[in-house]
Amino acid sequence: MGSLSVLGFDAPGDLYITSELDRRPARDADPLREKLALQDLAAKMADNPEEMLPRFVDLAMELTGGISAGLSLYEENPSPGVFRWRYLRGALAPFENATTPRNFSPCGITLDQNKPVLSHHPERFYNWISDAHIEVPEVLLVPLYIGGDEPLGTLWIVSDKEGHFDKGHARVATELASFAGTALRMLRAEQALQKALAEQETLTREMGHRIRNLFAIAEGMVRITARTAENKEDMAKMLTGRFHALASAHGLVRRSFSTGEDNRITDLCTLLQTVVEPHEGVRHGAPSRFSISGPAISCGPHAINGIALIFHELATNAAKYGALQADDGHVTIAWDKVADDMVFRWVEKGGPEIVSAPQVSGFGSKLLQDTVLRQFGGQFDHNWQPAGLAVTISLPVNSLSA
Ligand SMILES: Nc1ncnc2c1ncn2[C@@H]1O[C@H](COP(=O)(O)OP(=O)(O)O)[C@@H](O)[C@H]1O
Ligand SMILES: [Mg+2]
């Protein structure tokens, strides 16, 4: 037996015997039965593509006399990607969700060749098959098109007999793969729609939360300004200035589920100043209510958005419940790099005394948690000291460039 080079590795010469498919005439084709079975499944597909997928795989196994079959779906990240085994039927069903290497598998070869492929005892060559103690006398693979011209997976059928698969089987499998590809495309479109709807729902809830907070802040501003303004004109001028600052701070917190949004500001210090600006002191010439300090850091647009959201939440709460309620309340914001994290400290002083940690948490707490944990993969800690709230937030440094 000669040998063959697959990606520079020496492989048995009869590892791929695709040309056999042409030499073996179709033996047990039953076109009428095939047609009826397909028509039946296709008619049901529109209602429930997910339920149809295992049935297409079943049919592939049945019509070709295989002992097991399944789909391998390509996942491109991390490069060079893997195939994930889905909708497995028959003997290999316990391997549902297993992955196989993109560039070291019969599926990869099928994608590269973009046509049906027949392999003979692939476990002799691919150690991940023999490691799983699977014996594969023959496997027939056909490309699966999920949209576009490039196949994004395969439909495969395993036989327990050598010399089993023929030209007719390759044709039936190709036909079934085309239906399975359509069902997958429908399923993915449906999932994308569900995701978009869920994001819409989140946005709507966030919007409601922000509007409620906005009114609370505006009300506080009117109250404080009325206390300190000397006359109507003075009050109007001060309030207008603060509302403008509030609008700029809000403009920074743009929630976008798609990437590539540009907030223009990239420097952390400028960002934090803009976020807290609406809460600055009302009295002319009064010292700033904020101490902001830390090393200069440039952040990516996604990170800027998230950090603006976090500090906007903290500032809003400080104005509603904490240090910024009092005229001489003060907030210190400082950050520093500690190992692989950027650690931020938010410390309030001079507000009402905190007797105990709050029993209830609102939507703001959830938003903070979502942003710190999920967007940045970071951590936070609230310390409810009598003198005021102190919050520590650690964000991985590499998450700041996103
Ligand atoms: N800076 C703060 N100082 C004192 N109490 C605070 C502060 N921030 C939040 N709290 C308390 O924590 C609770 C939860 O806050 P949050 O989840 O933002 O909800 P919401 O702002 O919608 O009430 C608040 O109701 C308040 O009692
Ligand atoms: Mg809040």
Domain ranges of the chain: 3-191, 229-401
Mean per-residue pLDDT for 342-349? 98
For the stretch 295-324, pLDDT in tens is: 999 898 888 888 988 998 999 999 999 999
Give the helix ranges, DSSP H, for 229-263.
232-252
| 322 ligand 1 Cβ < 6 A | yes
Instruction: List strands edge to edge, sheet with 330-338.
Output: 290-293, 330-338, 341-349, 388-396, 379-385
In this structure, the residue with its CA closest to atom 13 of ligand 1 is: 361
| 368 ligand 1 Cβ < 6 A | no
Give the residue from 179, 134, 235 showing the smallest Cα distance to 35.
179
CA 93, CA 205: separation in Å to the nearest integer? 42
| 209 ligand 1 Cβ < 6 A | no
| 329 ligand 1 Cβ < 6 A | no
CA 350, CA 325: separation in Å to the nearest integer? 9
| 274 ligand 1 Cβ < 6 A | no
CA of 363 to the centre of ligand 2 (A): 7
For the stretch 227-248, pLDDT in tens is: 878 899 989 988 888 888 888 8
Can you name the CATH fold of 229-401? Heat Shock Protein 90 (3.30.565)
Q: Which pLDDT belongs to residue 5?
A: 63
Ligand 1: nearest atom to the Cα of 365: 17
Let me know: does 155 contact 144? Beta carbons within 8 Å: yes
Confidence of residue 34 (pLDDT cuts 50, 70, 90): confident
Give the ligand with the smallest distance to the CA of 318.
1
CA of 279 to the centre of ligand 1 (A): 17
For the stretch 105-152, pLDDT in tens is: 999 999 999 999 999 999 999 999 999 999 999 999 999 998 888 888
In this structure, the residue with its CA closest to atom 8 of ligand 1 is: 317
Let me know: does 264 contact 317? Beta carbons within 8 Å: no
Confidence of residue 8 (pLDDT cuts 50, 70, 90): low
CATH of the domain spanning 3-191: 3.30.450.40
